[in-house]
Amino acid sequence: MRRVVYPGTFDPMTNGHLDVLRHGCALFDEVVIAVLHNPLKQPLFEASERLELAKAATSQFPNVRVDTFEGLLVDYYVKQSFHGVIRGIRNMQDLQVEMQMAHMNESIYPDIHTIFLPTSPERSFISSSLVKDVAMHGGDISPYVPQVIATALEMKLRKH
């Protein structure tokens, strides 16, 4: 059984992430979405909220599990005996950043396998940061995130 990890901040999960996940699910037996809990970062949603939102947004995928991790990705990867890491690529900028991360991970742990999956062109401009920006300024984010996320974002921003 081929199990891969899809790590990220997912603050929050977008339709771009779901697109990458769709490809991952078609290629591998199980995809574990690993939500990074980084105490040094100040995300809009807490790790527990991002975990619950990712679960709700991916319930249609039978071979997806959602988890959180802290610390180095390679440590989590080894502990969970994954066969690979999947990451989405939207553009050349992503490729540059992702190559650097993949090389760093491989330098720390040479047996890690990173697989880049391109997003579909119509989703290549979607990012969690831009979605939050549009939402904060009162724009319609429904084309860019699952409904459950749009609702959660609206509620969160009302409290802020």
| List of residues contacting ligand PNS (CB under 6 A) | 7-9, 36, 72-73, 101, 104-105
Active-site residue (options: 41, 48, 59, 79): 41
b/e map 40-54, b = 16+ CB within 10 Å: eeebbbebebbbbbb
Active-site residue (options: 87, 90, 123, 132): 90
Q: How far is the CB of 129 from ligand PNS (least distance, A)?
A: 10
The SS3 call for residue 6 is strand
Count of all residues that appear for the chain in the document: 160
Nearer of residues 62 and 110 to ligand PNS, judged by Cβ: 110
Give every CB contact of residue 130 below 8 A, 6+ residues apart in sequence: 144
Nearer of residues 153 and 158 to ligand PNS, judged by Cβ: 153
Active-site residue (options: 17, 87, 123, 132): 17
Told to judge if 79 belongs to the known catalytic residues of this protein, a careful annotator would answer no
Q: How far is the CB of 138 from ligand PNS (least distance, A)?
A: 25
Residue with structure tokens 């579909």?
120
Tell me the residue type at 78. V
> What is the number of the residue whose Cβ is closest to ligand PNS?
8
